Every structure is written in C-alpha cells, then in structure tokens.
C-alpha cells in the first residue's frame, strides 16, 4: 500500500482533530485580517447611512440559536448602526425558539452602550405564531397583531409606539434570518407595502437572495459570518465576526487542502492500484 492509498484510508478522527485545531487556534492566537467589502454589503450600509436621523426601523430576529455565530454579529452591528443614527428600533421575531430572547438580549446590551431607553428608543414586540398572518396583519395594524410587547406591556403605554400604526411609519426593515421567512418579508412586506428591506442570512442561504438584491427587493445583503465581518468593518466596530474570520479562514483552507489531497489520492492511488493489478 503506497502513501496515497494510505491517505485514502485515513481515519476520519484525524480529520476531526485537524478541524478542531483549526477552529480553536485562532481564538488562542487571534488572526485579524481585513475583509474586502462586497457590493451587496456596501449597498446595505449606504442605505442605512442615508436614512434620516430618528427614522423608525424594524430589526427582525428570524434565526434560531443554532446559527447564532453567523447571525448575531449582524444584529449587533445593525443595532449599533441604528442607535448611532438615533433611529427608533422595533424588534420582533417569527421564531418561537429563542427569537424574542435573543432580540431582548442584543438590543438591551447595545442600547445600554448608547444610553437608549426602552419604550422610547426601542421596543421588543416579541413573537407571534404564523409569520404569514403576522407580516400581512402588521400592514394594517401592528397593535392588532402585537397588543403587548414581549414583557406584556400594552403598546399604548410605550411612547415609541404612539406614532407607529403600521408599515407606513416604518422607514426600513433589517431582516436577519436563517430560514425562508426572508422570502415572505419580500413577497408580503416589500411587494405589498413598499417598505425597503435589507437582509442578513447564513452563508448557506445567501446565494438564493442575490436574485432579490438584483431585483431591488432587498436593498443589500450580508451573507454569513463574512457578511457580518464586512458590516463590522463598515461601521468601524470590530466584533465577534471579525474575530471568527480567523477560524473560518483556517477551516476553509483545511477543507480545500483535504479536497485536493483526497483527489490526488483518488487519481494517483487509483493509478497505483491499477499498476499493482497488472
């Protein structure tokens, strides 16, 4: 058995070990590298930057805790950008498993950094079941769908919601999703009510949404942790995504190296086997 044939039969635990080391190493010795900005991320940033100060925006937490590493840096960066521009932020989620809690945690933490007050500068509407009904219902009245906020306070007791009835008072929506809810924000809210929407999504979902950006239905797109890192770089506030880029870089390079080695083994080892057979 030659080297390539042995490589073909390498125990998968060695692969797991290499992946583990590649993930852990950059967190022990951080590798911070500049990321290039894609046009889609730049478009999103430019749109938010062009919003008038004190605009009312929605920040939607449509992701599960499983994709927190990719999606949360996007929501944190967006919340920072919104609060920096003195925007009034309304958060909500169409995800029952942890969506409202993540919204609460992110906005509260960022709001404290900017000295923002709950009920005046930001509100967490929480979760309501059946996102198609929720998205279309808010077009007529947000209060009819969310009579109270996430902690049970009636909306009419929250000063921010005094002037917000439906989508007509919303200047921009930033949807961060790891599932198909982003499609419904396009088909119901953008197409039906003309509200500009930006999207942040996982790297695996991002290719689908280039079509929506091209059609103007999304004003911009952040794809995966790289997209989040681009946005952190645009707002000049380094966060978890920039730190995570080191680990992601090494793992991507490792996978590419494994694919090359695997293919070399496949061809060279295969030729060796055929020669051996003769």
Within positions 78 to 107, which residues make up the interface with other proteins, using CB under 8 A?
A: 96-98, 100-102, 104-105
Interface residues for other proteins in 162-201 (CB under 8 A)? 183, 192
Nearer to other proteins, 1 or 17 (CB): 17
State in angstroms the smallest separation of the CB of 57 from other proteins: 23
Residue 55 or 100: the one with the smaller Cβ distance to other proteins is 100
Q: Write the CB contacts of 168 (distance below 8 Å, at least 6 apart in sequence).
A: 193
Subset of residues 241 to 260 that bind other proteins, contact rule: CB under 8 A: 245, 248-256, 258-259
Non-local CB neighbours of 129 within 8 Å, separated by 6+ positions: 96
Q: Is the Cβ of residue 55 or residue 217 nearer to other proteins in the bound state? A: 217
**Minimum CB–partner distance for residue 278 and other proteins (Å):** 22
Query: Smallest distance, Å, CB 52 to other proteins?
Result: 26
Nearest CA to 150 out of 62, 91, 89 is that of 91
Which CA distances in Å does 16 have to 10, 68, 114, 192, 258? 11, 22, 42, 48, 12
Q: How far is the CB of 136 from other proteins (least distance, A)?
A: 6
113 forms part of the interface with other proteins (CB under 8 A): no
Rounded to an integer, what distance in angstroms lies between the CA atom of residue 185 and that of residue 175? 8
Q: CA triplet 222, 65, 232: central angle to 5 degrees?
A: 30
Beta strand extents in 134-231 (DSSP E only): 172-177, 197-201, 221-223
Please report, as residue ranges, which positions from 24 to 83 form the binding site for other proteins (by CB under 8 A): 33-36, 38-39, 64-69
- Near other proteins in 114-153, by CB under 8 A: 128-130, 132-134, 136-137, 139-141, 144-145, 150-151
Task: List the structure tokens of 95.
Answer: 């995800």
Q: Is 234 in the site for other proteins (CB under 8 A)?
A: no
């Amino acid at each position: 058995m030659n080297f390539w044939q042995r490589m073909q039969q390498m125990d998968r635990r060695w692969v797991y070990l290499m992946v583990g080391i590649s993930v852990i190493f950059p967190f022990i010795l951080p590798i911070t590298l500049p990321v290039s900005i894609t046009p889609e991320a730049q478009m999103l940033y430019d749109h938010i930057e062009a919003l008038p100060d004190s605009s009312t925006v929605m920040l939607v937490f449509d992701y599960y805790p499983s994709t927190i590493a990719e999606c949360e840096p996007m929501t944190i960066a967006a919340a920072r950008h919104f609060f920096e521009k003195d925007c009034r932020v309304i958060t909500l989620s169409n995800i029952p498993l942890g969506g409202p809690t993540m919204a609460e945690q992110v906005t509260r933490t960022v709001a404290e950094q900017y000295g923002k007050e709950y009920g005046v500068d930001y509100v967490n509407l929480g979760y309501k079941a059946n996102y198609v009904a929720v998205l279309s219902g808010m077009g007529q009245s947000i209060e009819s769908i969310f009579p109270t906020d996430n902690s049970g306070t009636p909306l009419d007791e929250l000063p921010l919601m005094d002037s917000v009835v439906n989508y007509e008072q919303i200047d921009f929506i930033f949807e961060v999703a790891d599932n198909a809810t982003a499609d419904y924000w396009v088909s119901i809210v953008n197409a039906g009510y003309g509200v500009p929407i930006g999207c942040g999504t996982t790297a695996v979902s991002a290719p689908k949404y280039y079509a929506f950006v091209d059609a103007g239905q999304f004003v911009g797109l952040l794809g995966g942790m790289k997209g989040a890192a681009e946005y952190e770089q645009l707002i000049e506030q380094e966060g978890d995504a920039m730190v995570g880029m080191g680990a992601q870089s090494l793992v991507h390079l490792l996978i590419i190296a494994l694919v090359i080695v695997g293919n070399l083994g496949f061809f060279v080892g295969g030729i060796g086997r055929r020669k051996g057979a003769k």
